[in-house]
A and B are shown apart, each in its own frame.
Chain A
Amino acid sequence: MSGADYLIKRTVFAIVTVFVALTLNFILFRALPGNAVTGLRCGHCTKQFRESIVKQYGLDKPKLQQYFVYLDRLAHGDLGTSTFDNRPVWDDIRGPLVNTLPMIVAGTVISIVLGVMTGVIAAWRRGTLADTSNTWSALAFYAMPTQWIGILVVFYIAIPLGLPASGIESNTLGILSTPSTWEVFSDRVSHLFLPALVLGIGLYGEYALIVRSSMLETLGEDYVLTARAKGMRNWSIVWKHALRNAMLPLVTLIALSLGSIVAGAIVVEDVFSYPGIGLATIDALNRRDYPVLQGIFLILTLSVIIANFIADLVYFKLDPRVTE
């Protein structure tokens, strides 16, 4: 298989996956017996009220027609209207998405840095106390539910140290005077720090274990022995020779764990009352606001698919052998 074949194959796969996601989204929300209307658990809803809702959402039309209407609307960027505040769904979730993005990026960076550092140290000092303690703590953090780590961090770190543990900005900001851009920025960062840290801690264990076993493998290769025989310094053996090759499985793992990153972000935002997409999801759940829930599901799924596609391209760039 040539490189072009590989790229075409991955592109087609990504596009088909998008359609699978769209269809799944449609089936879950419209086609199953438990649709949005039977899900309405209000005791006093009259029959007329239910019927009017059925009409409003076009649930009385044939399923196939509903499906095409749904695709057509999506193609025009119409995600529907919230049943809670009657605003377009996109307007409701754009703000939270913008808030979530930096947190997810910061959390992922923290997890990769932590994971690579502890993994490399554990592999380099194989069999020593440094290895055992790093490996076991990585395994332990891998096993802990992220929301629990979050609660522990609030309880044992944020409150004793007086760090901000709730919301996205201080209530006092801008009350007495108009804050400067720098003040707003540092306030945001201080509120972002702990949620991102928890997200990172919840994810790094998996990365550390993979980096460790992958490093052990490359450290046993002949070219590492050659590098050592040439008298290279330890750090440049690790950095220039071993780690580069050891990073390959990590790229795949990060791509595949994007779903877990999103999952972690949802619960972390709940613990820290951080007004991002996770909190929006929970609000939509509690309000039984199905259009918003559907929109969020769609956006999250699409971002994971696109990110996976990008990871495929990165992997191809890093290791052209993938096409063989």
Chain B
Amino acid sequence: MTEAIGLVDTPVATESTRRGFIREVLFGQRASVVGLVVLLFFVVIAIIGPWIEPYSTTTQVGPVYAPPSSQHWLGLDDGGIDMLSEVIAGARVSMVVGFAGAAVAMIIGGGVGLLSGYFGNKTDIFLMRITDYFLVIPDVPLMIVAAAVFGRSTLNVVLIIGIIYWTSTARLIRAQVKSVRERVYVKRARALGGGHGRLVWKHITPQVAPLLVANTVLTIAIAVFAETYIAFLGLEDPSTISWGKLIQNSLSGGAIFHKAWWAIIPPGLCVTIVILAATMMGQAMEDALNPRLRVGHLSVRRFRLRPLRGRLESE
């Protein structure tokens, strides 16, 4: 099962210098540049939000569901609160949950992948079994239960997302580590008496780090998506504003019957754009880093989606 991976001697495309890596992987392709610019735009909005929100997100500034006007570009919501300010404030929580959730998944998945790929044998079998089980158990019911049991806070949402979405990262990193471990320079370092810690940290981690970053960018898309689910089910901290919460508000606040498209469209559109950007960027980076992952030499644009990968690589 492990030998069928076929990743034994795939060189990482860019091994030259750090600057060369950034140039080729990040700026070499249009998709990743566009994705990066869009993501950065929303990150900046999230950071400077408190200074650019035109109105308070807690006080009523006009009639309920007032349409967009020159004072309120995106109109008002069911509580007479400025929608533009809410969408900007929502970016903060959604981006924090997206990035932090993906970071937690990166740490767990990267750690499991490194340990499993480096030590092999029983460690590998044990960790990959756990990964298999996590892959099969449906994520959203688990998310609902965990959020309900642990209580409603942004930190819990981040942790839950991280704990659920680490599996494909673990598999990808494991495969990569298995190939890096067999390279000559790693063997030489081992022969010179390098300990496990030094080998993993100094020789293997730098080689798999770019792939880990690319994979984490893909996980951001999934984390932002998951946040909308959690918020929609009312499992988020009730006092926060996020895009998922705004989508939920548009339904529960009766925006449909007030014909208030301005309360429905913007939050969902933001989520869609961020997910598209992160997916494009992560995919382009992974393709540049790991040629073997490319599907079909004929494809014009190579779209692979995450769930497929774990299973196909293991069988």
Contact = CB atoms under 8 A, between A and B. Distances in A.
B295 A144 contact: no
A151 B136 CA distance: 29
Nearest to B134: A20
A34 B144 CA distance: 15
Contacts of B251: 147, 151, 270-271
Contacts of B310: 256
Interface stretch (B64-72, B209-217, B228-236): B228-236
Contact of B140 (A20, A155, A259): A259
A16 B133 CA distance: 9
Contacts of A39: 148-149, 151
Nearest to B228: A145
A252 B247 contact: no
Contacts of B112: none
B136 to A, nearest CB: 5
Interface stretch (A44-52, A100-108, A295-303): A295-303
B242 to A, nearest CB: 12
B219 interface: no
Contact of A258 (B138, B244, B247): B138
Contacts of B296: 213-214, 216-217, 220
Given A34-B151, A135-B303, A267-B232, A143 B276 contact: yes
A209 B251 CA distance: 30
Interface size range of chain A in the complex: 35 or more
A65 to B, nearest CB: 21
Interface of B: 132-133, 135-142, 144-146, 148-151, 221, 225, 228-229, 232-235, 244, 247-248, 250-251, 256, 261, 264, 267-268, 271-273, 275-276, 279, 295-305, 307-308, 310-312, 315
19 contacts: A17-B137, A20-B133, A24-B137, A28-B146, A28-B149, A29-B145, A127-B300, A142-B305, A148-B272, A151-B247, A152-B268, A159-B256, A206-B307, A209-B305, A258-B138, A262-B138, A262-B140, A270-B233, A293-B145
Given A213-B302, A263-B138, 10 more contacts: A155-B264, A206-B305, A210-B304, A210-B308, A213-B303, A219-B298, A220-B298, A252-B312, A270-B232, A305-B136
